[in-house]
Structure 1
Amino acid sequence: MQYTEFGRTGLRVSRLGLGGAPLAGDFGPTDEREVELMIHEAIDGGINFVDTAVKYGNGESERRIGNALRGGRRNQIVLTTKAVGNHGDFSYASTIESVEGSLQRLKTDWVDLLQIHDAERTSFEIVMEETLPALEKLREQGKLRFIGISTRRLPLLMQYVQTGRFDSIQFYVRYMLIDHSAKDELLPLTQEYGLGVINGSVLSMGLLADTPAKFLKPDIIQEAQERMEKLRFLRRGEPYGLVEPAMRFSLTQPAIHVTLTGASTREVLRTNMAYCDGQGLAPDDQARVFELFAGQQLFQD
């Protein structure tokens, strides 16, 4: 397992993190006992970063993680969750309520990182005047250590980064083999401000594993398949998809501190853990990937 410093926070994090959405069954049925065993195996294998949210299974992911972390496991990881819930109310009071509920489900008095989820669903003004002050108050009370923000909209993320009031960001489908649009402006900015960076959905919502999410539109799937065809030179032993090169592409990007794996079984987890060995794409292959899709977003803002 590879480790790095999470921006300026001083946290030492595994470059591979465990994502909480599949743990709640958001991408298919999951067995609660299997989830507990997978979390334990992840920790035993060196993963020390677990990311979840109240929206994942309407709190079920948090509940399952909380159960799995009993018996001293909580102190072995960097635990992060997100506010607010499915109701989409980013007000001060709702944010406080969201976090208190998360702490109860996670069976902990505090989390290491609390992120504002889907920041595009409200205005910049509400986040800065309501949501963020609520999190800052909770930080004063010792219920969270650091504050982050999450959205896939790059201009919006850059706006929040430049306030200087956040410790981390999380995006998804913005640094992967077929859309690396975070590379040119956002990642240099996060380095300038010393922010921790979390990368989600490096398999492009299943597209790079040849298992696209059911909600994806046909035109997106078609475009992704055309881009994947141009990446045939990256295929080694995999008959389908580009899972290994996709994981390695993100895991070895110095400006990305944590790449999330959305494993739903221990077998998938073990496979992805094996990719976190510091070995990236061959330099010529990586340069070719950057050249192929420069400035070409797959998912529009």
Structure 2
Amino acid sequence: MQYRTLGKTGYDISTISFGAWAIGGTWGATDDRESLATLRRALDLGINFFDTADVYGDGHSERLIAQLRRERPGAFYVATKAGRRLDPHTAGGYTYANLRAFAERSLRNLETDALDLLQLHCPPGEVYGQDEAFDALERLKGEGLLRHYGVSVETVDEARAAVRRPGVASVQIIFNAFRLKPAESFFAAARAADVGIIARVPLASGLLTGKLRADTAFAPDDHRAFNRHGEAFDRGETFSGVDYDLGLEAARRLQDVVPAGMTPAQFALRWILMFPEVTCAIPGARRPAQAEANAAAADLPPLSAEQMRAVQDIYDTLLRAQVHPHW
């Protein structure tokens, strides 16, 4: 496993970390015993950063990680998120009182006295221009409820606005071989501000694994079935906003670039780690074997300049026009 420092936090975290959305919900049925076995295996492999949120399974994901923490105290860092419990989800709800209530609930779920990293969970765009939410986070940090804070964003514009806030330690953003805009338009600003970058949706909701097909069936409670057009939350969270059939074609072309000894998913993860500004990628895993395959990507050899150009060419010819203007 390889490690990089997460911005101002000073945390040295695994370049392949663990995204805990899938063990919480909206990815189909889960099995807690298997989820816990997967978390344990990830930790054994050197993964020491787990990203979750208070809305993943209404806190279920947080509570599973708390069980891991009871077994292995002090062995890893946990990032959680707050804000999406607001109903309605509006900028006006990002107050000190609401954020404190969300933080206290996560503290209980995670069975800890202070959150390692609390991230605003894709707040409305207006929040980035308002002081109230960031002042609240500073206050919560001063009160000892959290050690550091960051923002999970939808767009590059939001990411650039976030790093102008001096207390922001990290930005979580969708970045993968189907979403290249962050590297072009955001990474330099993050580097200048000493802000860590957490690359989420690194496998484009499974498209970049090469395992999905035109006739792949998704469970009704899997967001890949019910959010393809943004019916439940931002469309960009599902298949990175790429039309499914177009994504299948792009994934097929990428498979021609994958070298021997790598799976398509490992190639996609290793591609992300070619960017030194990225602190970590957070693929999900629901089985120990998936955690093993993900973790192995951290130690694969660097990709060649030719392979990097091939990814860029596929993006430019197939995907840029569809995704670049929106996120």
TM-score (norm 2): 0.83
Matched, 1:242 2:242: no
1:275 corresponds to which letter in structure 2?
A: A
Measured after TM superposition, the shift of residue 269 of structure 1 is 0.6
What is the Cα-based RMSD across aligned positions, in Å?
2.3
Number of residue pairs matched by the alignment: 295
Contact in 2 for aligned 1:18/1:50 (Cα 8 Å)? yes
1:74-93 alignment runs, 5 A limit: 74-87=73-86, 88=89, 89-93=93-97
Q: Give the 3-state SS of the residue equivalent to 2:84 in structure 1.
A: coil
- 2:10 is matched with which residue? 10
1:191-210 alignment runs, 5 A limit: 191-209=191-209, 210=211
Change (3 A) 1:65 1:232: closer
Contact in 2 for aligned 1:178/1:228 (Cα 8 Å)? no
Change (3 A) 1:298 1:257: farther
Contact in 1 for aligned 2:257/2:310 (Cα 8 Å)? no
Matched, 1:21 2:6: no
The 2-side partners of 1:59 and 1:221 are apart by 30
Contact in 2 for aligned 1:224/1:298 (Cα 8 Å)? no
Measured after TM superposition, the shift of residue 246 of structure 1 is 0.6
Change (3 A) 1:298 1:268: farther
1:103-252 alignment runs, 5 A limit: 103-120=107-124, 123-126=127-130, 128-129=131-132, 131-172=133-174, 175-209=175-209, 210-211=211-212, 213-214=224-225, 215-217=227-229, 220-236=243-259, 242-252=264-274
Select the structure with the greater relative contact order (CA < 8 A; seq sep ≥ 6).
2
- 1:254 is matched with which residue? 276
- 1:266 is matched with which residue? 288
Q: Give the 3-state SS of the residue equivalent to 1:103 in structure 2.
A: helix
Q: Give the 3-state SS of the residue equivalent to 2:243 in structure 1.
A: helix
The 2-side partners of 1:231 and 1:86 are apart by 37
The 1-side partners of 2:32 and 2:125 are apart by 31
- 1:52 is matched with which residue? 52
Q: Give the 3-state SS of the residue equivalent to 1:182 in structure 2.
A: helix
Change (3 A) 1:150 1:297: farther
The 1-side partners of 2:148 and 2:245 are apart by 40
Contact in 2 for aligned 1:38/1:266 (Cα 8 Å)? yes
Measured after TM superposition, the shift of residue 298 of structure 1 is 4.7
List gaps (5 residues or longer) in structure 2: 217-223, 230-240
Q: Give the 3-state SS of the residue equivalent to 1:30 in structure 2.
A: coil
The 1-side partners of 2:297 and 2:283 are apart by 11
Measured after TM superposition, the shift of residue 157 of structure 1 is 1.2
Change (3 A) 1:95 1:269: same
Deviations 1:77-121 (A, max 9, x none): 111101123323322211110000000000011121110001236
1:199 corresponds to which letter in structure 2?
A: A
The 1-side partners of 2:274 and 2:315 are apart by 19
1:159 corresponds to which letter in structure 2?
A: A
Runs of 4+ in 1 over 6 A off after TM superposition: none
